[in-house]
Amino acid sequence: MVRGARRVVALTGAGISAESGVPTFRDAGGLWRRYRVEELATPEALQRDPRTVWEWYDHRRSFLASCEPNPAHHALARFFLGRGVAGLITQNVDGLHTRAALEAAGDAPADAALPVELHGVIARDRCNSCGARYPGEPLGDPLPRCADCGGLRRPDVILFGESLDGTLLARAQAMAAAADLCLVIGTGAEVYPAAAIPWTTRHAGGDIIEVNTQATSLTSVAAVAVQGKAGEVLPELLG
């Protein structure tokens, strides 16, 4: 099915990065256990207590910087780079797909292997007022401000209650609609609108291959459901 597919799209979630040691969003440990994630990762919390929200994300940012792409990230990067057509969509904010793509590309353009990062990138900052983006910096005092408008900067990720970037979402949906095969990796695809990606491919007449360590709501509709770790399955599946 993979060899015969004209266009392939892949949707990845937390499961693929768990194999790199990335904790789930709700498992930060330490003092953060005193807080509910839904209370910290919101626009209201950022406005009410930006220092605590920034410290929460800086904690995660520092940890993620020590994580490395695993064989699943590398297999996907090589696969899409070899095809020369972009098709990777991720719900993860850890940047591991991008790091794998840049490693795989060498001197060649990496655009085909670069992901559509639907939920943003934790290592990047964005102005909460004008939207200007900046490379992430270590958290200091005072909190980082926008060089253009003076607005408060924040990690460039989607907070609870915020909508996805419309341009990125439209691009992802177009990729899914044009694909005749959707790989769903390390995600139950239950949180919309990202969860619509595999269904978009299926409704366009394409097939779904699921790779997960456990059954999900997609398992029964997938043409093939492979139960196992992505880092073990994908190098074989896409090699």
Q: What is the pLDDT of residues 138-168, one digit of tens each?
A: 899 999 999 999 999 999 999 999 999 999 9
Residue-number span of the structural domain to which 149 is assigned: 30-65+123-157
Name the domain count of the chain: 2
Question: Does one domain contain both 128 and 216?
Answer: no
Tokens at 58, concatenated:
């800086």
Question: Does one domain contain both 98 and 153?
Answer: no
Q: Is residue 2 part of a domain?
A: no
Active site residue 119: yes
In sequence order, what E strands does the chain have? 8-12, 88-90, 116-117, 120-127, 133-135, 153-157, 181-185, 207-212, 224-227
* DSSP 8-state symbol, 2: T
Question: Does one domain contain both 113 and 182?
Answer: yes
Question: Does one domain contain both 115 and 169?
Answer: yes
Q: Contact at 8 Å (CB) between 31 and 110? A: no
Provide the pLDDT confidence category of residue 115 given band limits of 50, 70 and 90: very high
Q: How big is the chain, counted in residues?
A: 239
CA angle, corner 131, sides to 125 and 132, nearest 5?
65
Q: Is residue 187 part of a domain?
A: yes
Question: Does one domain contain both 77 and 99?
Answer: yes
Which residue in 1, 8, 5 sits closest to 184, CA to CA?
A: 8
Q: Say how far apart CA 20 and CA 15 lie, in whole Å.
A: 9
Question: Does one domain contain both 215 and 185?
Answer: yes
CATH number at 141 reads: 3.30.1600.10
Q: Which of 73, 97, 119, 203 is catalytic?
A: 119
Q: What is the pLDDT of residues 68-112, one digit of tens each?
A: 999 999 999 999 999 999 999 999 999 999 999 999 998 776 799
Question: Does one domain contain both 150 and 171?
Answer: no
**What is the mean predicted confidence (pLDDT) over 205-234?**
97
Q: Contact at 8 Å (CB) between 209 and 181? A: yes
Question: Does one domain contain both 146 and 180?
Answer: no
CATH number at 77 reads: 3.40.50.1220
Last residue of some domain: 137, 157, 177? Answer: 157
- Report for 55-59, 186-190, 199-203: range of highest mean pLDDT: 199-203
Question: Does one domain contain both 73 and 60?
Answer: no
Question: Side-chain half-sphere of 194: how many Cα atoms within 13 Å?
Answer: 27
Question: Does one domain contain both 60 and 73?
Answer: no
Question: Does one domain contain both 39 and 57?
Answer: yes
**What is the mean predicted confidence (pLDDT) over 35-49?**
86
Q: Is residue 3 part of a domain?
A: no
Question: Does one domain contain both 130 and 217?
Answer: no
pLDDT at 109: 67
